[in-house]
Amino acid sequence: MSGCPFGGGGPPAENGAAPAATAGKSGVSRRGLLGLAGVGGAGAVAGIAAGLLGRDAVEAAVSPASNVSSAVVPFHGERQAGITTPAQDRLHMAAFDVTTEDRAALIRLLKDWTAAAEAMTAGHTTGGTGAVEGPYDAPPEDTGEALDLDAGRLTLTFGFGAGLFKKDGKARFGLEGRRPEALIDLPHFPGDALDPAKTGGDLVVQACADDPQVAVHAIRNLARIGFGKVRVRWSQLGFGRTSSTSRAQQTPRNLFGFKDGTNNLKAEDGGLLNQHVWAGGGASAGEAWMAGGSYLVARRIRMHIEIWDRTSLREQEALVGRTKGTGAPLSGGEEFTAPNFAVTGKNQQPLIPLDAHVRLAHADQNGGVRMLRRGYNYTDGSDGLGHLDAGLFFIAFVKDPRTHYVPMQMAMARQDTLALEYLKHTGSGLFAVPPGVQPGGFIGEGLFS
Amino acid sequence: MSGCPFGGGGPPAENGAAPAATAGKSGVSRRGLLGLAGVGGAGAVAGIAAGLLGRDAVEAAVSPASNVSSAVVPFHGERQAGITTPAQDRLHMAAFDVTTEDRAALIRLLKDWTAAAEAMTAGHTTGGTGAVEGPYDAPPEDTGEALDLDAGRLTLTFGFGAGLFKKDGKARFGLEGRRPEALIDLPHFPGDALDPAKTGGDLVVQACADDPQVAVHAIRNLARIGFGKVRVRWSQLGFGRTSSTSRAQQTPRNLFGFKDGTNNLKAEDGGLLNQHVWAGGGASAGEAWMAGGSYLVARRIRMHIEIWDRTSLREQEALVGRTKGTGAPLSGGEEFTAPNFAVTGKNQQPLIPLDAHVRLAHADQNGGVRMLRRGYNYTDGSDGLGHLDAGLFFIAFVKDPRTHYVPMQMAMARQDTLALEYLKHTGSGLFAVPPGVQPGGFIGEGLFS
């Protein structure tokens, strides 16, 4: 952590709680740094008349370009932020292939990413001390497109894919025996149509913020810092969160137009989070580094929205098992009423059909397992066939994908009419998300000790 | 306009002004309609116990899913909204190929789109009267994903491509002689690398809003309404505006990290707008329908951000001709100081280099012509080569592209080192944007009379 002006001192914060309103202990944000940067920059200019260049401190009357929260979510803590943090509005997620085979270079990268994440989540530039600081004849230490923007509740959540431990049959980085058993190779699910270019990755970074430019800036700068060591494998923007992760949030809607994630696990579900979200230390000593972490399942799920939009309201509600307007289960009540799968209507047919999504996805039908979902709606241009390429970028955090994702997804892929007729999984990833970073530490430190 | 509950009465509004804070004369927004929709839906259900289904009016405690403006920009007016309207934060633009050859079907589509645009820009569902209204055994009249969201300053701006008038050598829709001379086929510019799948289109819709889900919902529902008559040719999300169109707005930054559009034409530039943005009636009577309209130039410009990010600050500023921090011209002053292209520094070299972007793009170097830019930053996944596919989705509104776009772009493509080394044009479109719609009228009505 040497060289990082934000890494030292202070008690560890407990992440996942409500965002703090402070701007971090160094106390100067990107926006406030514009003037200072001008001074610093001018000082670095030799041989050019600083006055003529106008590089004296000019404190522009900055105001946020978009109407976003200025709150800061603490980066340090027992858990990584971005899991139980109340879901921000926008996503930029990227998976990287690691191109170096040098263990020291990988550790250096994780330390550099840690320093950059500490700075950016606090609303600072990655360089840490100003907008355009550093030598005038060197590349800027920050790409600059977030200079006038607040922290925007940015969280950066890091995970490790199976390819970090072993690739093409060859162990990597001296990590033999450290791959957690739960970091499985996901099985092929019926109907999977995975694009290799949208699947896998050795490292993943989930950037969530209330301003998309803040999230994009973060991923772009991590990619910049990783130049020569990592390559972007895939990258996904999400424009509308499809889950709430706090009871303080309204349930959002997916691109089927239905409320999504009503029964999601939420930050307030302390005991259930230990049961379903936070990983233990595994069976072997080699994976003790994952204690307090989680597993991130990412699935790019294309929705056939054009076909859906020509389906009757009756059929849509029967497929989902809830009303479209209020999100109440078809067995009655309001949105948060527990679905009653036994109650029948005319002809003794269950009011919530046997193949309804809400029934098949319910914990009662899945051995009691639950997950913390944190997905986003996406629209990626058109599909070349006259349709929008749109859907759900599914993200879930689970204690163990072998018990908490694979059985449910296998059942869905086989029985859920909604999934069978209107969804297509086109991308996939599974990542081990290590516990949080303490001041002075770095991402995934336990894996390398 | 029969069948549209929002089209009648009231004086025409002058668009392009600051958004009105009213919710339209029908006075009930999407968010307020949730409860009503439940009632309406229940009334339409025959043979299913409405009580058990929970479809009684349940007014959910709705609050905006994101922190956006609830203001409404009037749809009706002398000009179309979305041109001088203060630029919203988010974009979804789509170009459509018209697949019908039936003139009446095309007019029907434009009328249906008008009604839907009137409703959605006012914060209503496309059906107009409720969330899930309409027969229970028919598809919902709105896809629903914006049900809990405000109008979000949504504007929908419509344009006509050359392919609407003539395609494959064959005149269409009886529009012989109505194609404006200014609606040229853009020439090939040096360096163009246009993807046909991201270029052209018979119709274009620019949806801008402060909430991306509102913009995506609008395009998606227009595509839904056009089923069987149009196909999506290309679609582009933009996450961060790169221009201000009002002096009340802060200058935003592009993905080079520089302030962009400092010298943009703005809503307050009344006389200059007539000179540079608003079209006249053309030379022939056949194109009088364009009087008061404009021409929309769209260019998808990939930025080689990875190379840019390894360029020195000195070089970046020399290429742009402005400082990165404050955006002041290199000839001195602050952001809005006029650049002085004559002033020289040491060695008698001009402080703003001869190949600087700000010099080549300046009106003084381009016969005094100016444009109203309204572009957005984009990031569309990765390029398969380890990089982000990111850049600028350039949008400009001009009086005549023959005088106001082609010469400047030709000069840029030949001389602008920034463009030559760091930009690649991968998509393109030129569209005739008709004047605004009056109550009772429809989009482009003058073209069909």
Q: Which pair of structure tokens corresponds to residue B268?
A: 């307050």
A21 belongs to a structural domain: yes
Please state, in angstroms and rounded to a whole number, the distance separating the CA atoms of residues B113 and A154: 38
Q: Are strands A372-373 and A240-241 parallel, antiparallel or unpaired?
A: unpaired
Are B306 and A224 an interchain contact pair (Cβ–Cβ within 8 Å)?
A: yes
Q: CA angle A266-A270-A272, nearest 5°?
A: 75
* Residue B97: closest CA among B206, B235, B208, B194: B235
β-strand partners of B236 = B93
Among chain A residues, the shortest Cα distance to B62 is held by A250
Residues of B in contact with A144 (CB under 8 A): 253, 256-258, 324
In the three-class reduction of DSSP (H, G, I as helix; E, B as strand; rest coil), residue B93 is classed as strand
The contacts found for A174-178 with CB under 8 angstroms, 24 or more apart, are A174/A103, A175/A447, A177/A284, A177/A286, A178/A286, A178/A287, A178/A289, A178/A447
- Of all residues in chain B, the percent with pLDDT exceeding 90 is 76
* Residue A313: closest CA among B296, B44, B207, B322: B44
Beta carbons within 10 angstroms of residue B353's beta carbon: 18
Beta carbons within 10 angstroms of residue A99's beta carbon: 13
Q: Which pair of structure tokens corresponds to residue A110?
A: 């994780």
Backbone φ, ψ for residue A356 (5° rounding):
-70, 145
- Partner-chain residue, chosen from A213, A240, A327, that has the shortest CB–CB distance to B377: A213
Beta carbons within 10 angstroms of residue A295's beta carbon: 26
Cβ-Cβ contacts under 8 Å between A and B: the total is 341
Residue type (1 letter), A435 = P
The pLDDT of residue A189: 97
Beta carbons within 10 angstroms of residue A237's beta carbon: 25
Residues of A in contact with B323 (CB under 8 A): 38, 41, 53-55, 132
Q: For residue A423, what are the contacts with CB-CB under 8 A and spacing of at least 6?
A: A191, A301, A302, A303, A304, A391
The pLDDT of residue A285: 83
The pTM of this model reads 0.87
Q: Kindly report which listed range (A315-319, B51-55, B330-334) carries the lowest average pLDDT score.
A: B51-55
Are A58 and B326 an interchain contact pair (Cβ–Cβ within 8 Å)?
A: yes
Task: Classify A182 in phi/psi space as left (phi over 0), alpha (psi -120 to 50) or beta.
Answer: alpha
Are A382 and B94 an interchain contact pair (Cβ–Cβ within 8 Å)?
A: yes
How far B343 CA sits from the closest chain A CA (Å)?
9
CB A290 within 8 A of CB A282: yes
Question: ipTM for the complex?
Answer: 0.86
3-class secondary structure for A180-211?
CCCCCCCCCCCCCCCCHHHECCCEEEEEEECC
The pLDDT of residue B29: 62
B26 belongs to a structural domain: yes
CB B16 within 8 A of CB B155: no
Please state, in angstroms and rounded to a whole number, the distance separating the CA atoms of residues A280 and A273: 12
* Residue A235: closest CA among A254, A216, A221, A255: A216
pLDDT digits (tens, 9 = 90+) for A277-300: 999 987 788 899 999 999 999 999
Q: Which pair of structure tokens corresponds to residue B402?
A: 């023959």
Residues of A in contact with B54 (CB under 8 A): 323, 326, 328-334, 337
The pLDDT of residue B369: 94
In the three-class reduction of DSSP (H, G, I as helix; E, B as strand; rest coil), residue B365 is classed as helix
B78 belongs to a structural domain: no
Residues of A in contact with B310 (CB under 8 A): 139, 227
- Partner-chain residue, chosen from A131, A314, A327, that has the shortest CB–CB distance to B325: A131
B96, pLDDT greater than 50: yes
Burial bucket for residue A170 (CB in 10 Å: 0-12, 13-18, 19+): exposed
Q: For residue A43, what are the contacts with CB-CB under 8 A and spacing of at least 6?
A: none
B38 belongs to a structural domain: yes
Q: For residue A208, what are the contacts with CB-CB under 8 A and spacing of at least 6?
A: A82, A85, A87, A88, A90, A91, A153, A154, A155, A157, A215, A374
A183 belongs to a structural domain: no
How far A383 CA sits from the closest chain B CA (Å)?
8
Residue type (1 letter), A365 = Q
pLDDT digits (tens, 9 = 90+) for B203-238: 999 999 999 999 999 999 999 999 999 999 999 999
Residues of B in contact with A67 (CB under 8 A): 67-69, 89, 210
Q: Are strands B230-238 and B90-98 parallel, antiparallel or unpaired?
A: antiparallel
B117 belongs to a structural domain: no
Please state, in angstroms and rounded to a whole number, the distance separating the CA atoms of residues B399 and B128: 35
How far B283 CA sits from the closest chain A CA (Å)?
36
How far B387 CA sits from the closest chain A CA (Å)?
5
- Partner-chain residue, chosen from A137, A309, A328, that has the shortest CB–CB distance to B139: A309
Handedness of CA A123, A127, A133, A136 (dihedral sign): negative
- Partner-chain residue, chosen from A144, A337, A351, that has the shortest CB–CB distance to B324: A144
Q: E-strand spans in B52-127?
A: 90-98
Handedness of CA B199, B203, B209, B212 (dihedral sign): negative
- Partner-chain residue, chosen from B145, B254, B346, that has the shortest CB–CB distance to A253: B145
- Partner-chain residue, chosen from A69, A140, A337, that has the shortest CB–CB distance to B324: A140
Residues of A in contact with B210 (CB under 8 A): 66-67
In the three-class reduction of DSSP (H, G, I as helix; E, B as strand; rest coil), residue B119 is classed as helix
Are A334 and B386 an interchain contact pair (Cβ–Cβ within 8 Å)?
A: no
Q: For residue B242, what are the contacts with CB-CB under 8 A and spacing of at least 6?
A: B252, B253, B254, B260, B261, B373, B375, B376, B377, B392
Please state, in angstroms and rounded to a whole number, the distance separating the CA atoms of residues A194 and A196: 6
Q: How far is CA A225 from CA A106, B383, B385, in A?
A: 12, 18, 17
Residues of B in contact with A325 (CB under 8 A): 34, 37-38, 41, 55, 131-132, 147
Q: Which pair of structure tokens corresponds to residue A378?
A: 């996406």
Are A325 and B139 an interchain contact pair (Cβ–Cβ within 8 Å)?
A: no
Are B140 and A257 an interchain contact pair (Cβ–Cβ within 8 Å)?
A: yes
- Partner-chain residue, chosen from B90, B136, B335, that has the shortest CB–CB distance to A313: B136
CA-CA-CA-CA torsion for A408, A411, A414, A415, nearest 10 degrees? -110
Domain span at A25:
1-66
Please state, in angstroms and rounded to a whole number, the distance separating the CA atoms of residues B362 and B366: 7
Are A235 and B379 an interchain contact pair (Cβ–Cβ within 8 Å)?
A: yes
Are B144 and A90 an interchain contact pair (Cβ–Cβ within 8 Å)?
A: no
- Partner-chain residue, chosen from B66, B232, B343, that has the shortest CB–CB distance to A52: B343
pLDDT digits (tens, 9 = 90+) for B351-386: 999 999 999 999 998 999 999 999 999 999 999 999
pLDDT digits (tens, 9 = 90+) for B162-210: 999 999 999 999 998 999 999 999 999 999 999 999 999 999 999 999 9
The pLDDT of residue A284: 83
A7 belongs to a structural domain: yes
CB A380 within 8 A of CB A389: yes
The helix or strand, by DSSP H or E, that contains position B395, with its residue range, turns out to be strand B388-398
Are A145 and B234 an interchain contact pair (Cβ–Cβ within 8 Å)?
A: no
Number of domains in chain B: 1
The pLDDT of residue A435: 98
Residues of B in contact with A332 (CB under 8 A): 51-54
3-class secondary structure for B135-167?
CCCCCCCCCCCCCCCCCCCCEEEEEECHHHCEE
B47, pLDDT greater than 70: no
Are B382 and A233 an interchain contact pair (Cβ–Cβ within 8 Å)?
A: yes
Are A324 and B256 an interchain contact pair (Cβ–Cβ within 8 Å)?
A: no
Are A62 and B250 an interchain contact pair (Cβ–Cβ within 8 Å)?
A: yes
A2 belongs to a structural domain: yes
Residues of B in contact with A377 (CB under 8 A): 145, 213, 216
Instruction: Average the pLDDT over B251-260 and give the result.
Output: 96
Residues of A in contact with B34 (CB under 8 A): 325-326
Instruction: Average the pLDDT over B103-132 and give the result.
Output: 88
Are B147 and A253 an interchain contact pair (Cβ–Cβ within 8 Å)?
A: yes
CB A212 within 8 A of CB B91: no
pLDDT per residue of chain A (449 residues) written in tens, 0 to 9:
333 333 333 333 334 433 333 333 343 466 554 433 333 333 232 222 222 222 222 222 222 333 344 599 999 999 999 999 999 999 999 999 999 999 999 999 999 999 999 999 999 999 754 455 567 888 888 999 999 899 999 999 999 999 999 999 999 999 989 999 999 999 999 999 999 999 999 999 999 999 999 999 999 999 999 999 999 999 999 999 999 999 999 999 999 999 999 999 999 998 999 999 999 987 788 899 999 999 999 999 999 999 999 999 999 999 999 999 999 999 999 999 999 999 999 889 999 999 999 999 999 989 999 999 999 999 999 999 999 999 999 999 999 999 999 999 999 999 999 999 999 999 999 999 999 999 999 999 999 99
The pLDDT of residue A283: 75
pLDDT digits (tens, 9 = 90+) for A83-109: 999 999 999 999 999 999 999 999 999
β-strand partners of B206 = B93, B157
Please state, in angstroms and rounded to a whole number, the distance separating the CA atoms of residues B79 and A23: 44
- Partner-chain residue, chosen from A241, A253, A382, that has the shortest CB–CB distance to B232: A382
* Residue A177: closest CA among A284, A279, A61, A251: A284
Q: Which pair of structure tokens corresponds to residue B425?
A: 């044009």
- Best interface-test mutation with A: which of B99, B126, B302, B324 has the largest number of A CBs within 10 A? B324
